[in-house]
Copies of this chain bind each other. A is one copy, B any other.
Amino acid sequence: MKANDLLPIGDLARRTGLSVSAIRYYESKGLIEPHRTGGNQRRFLRSDIRRLSFILIAQRLGLSLGEIEGQLARLPQGRTPDAKDWAAISRSIRDQLDARIAELQRARDNLDGCIGCGCLSLKNCTLYNPDDALATKGPGPRIVIG
């Protein structure tokens, strides 16, 4: 065990699978705030591995860096986040995931209905045809998902 647990950016990159430039980019976006050595090099806490892992996971779940920053802002200040802190965030993301899944399922069901009636090209389908009943609601096929 080293007396000093601070990691240089290269180590953090290896541990998270991120590129060094991506980590610097996240810093520039305010997602992570490393310390600096006297020589201006970044030094990260071990808990920053979790933080970056979380960013990777959340991205894969479809969140933008902005949304992720919002989630990370819920972590405690001045104290290393513990299991409960991360669990709270995970739960909140789970809700977003559920919503996204539900939305896609709605879209799929609508598409299913339209396969049945062939409406993507038929004049008399109210779902897709802006000339028909929905014309007053504004143009386009927006309705499918909304």
Contacts and interface: CB of A to CB of B under 8 A. Distances in A.
Contact of A60 (B54, B86, B107): B107
Contact of A101 (B14, B87, B105, B144): B105
A56 to B, nearest CB: 5
Contacts of A2: none
Interface string A95-112: 001101100110110011
* This chain: copies in complex: 2
The A interface, classified by DSSP as helix, strand, loop or mixed, is helix
Given A60-B144, A138-B17, A53 B128 contact: yes
Interface residues of A, number: 54
Contacts of A1: none
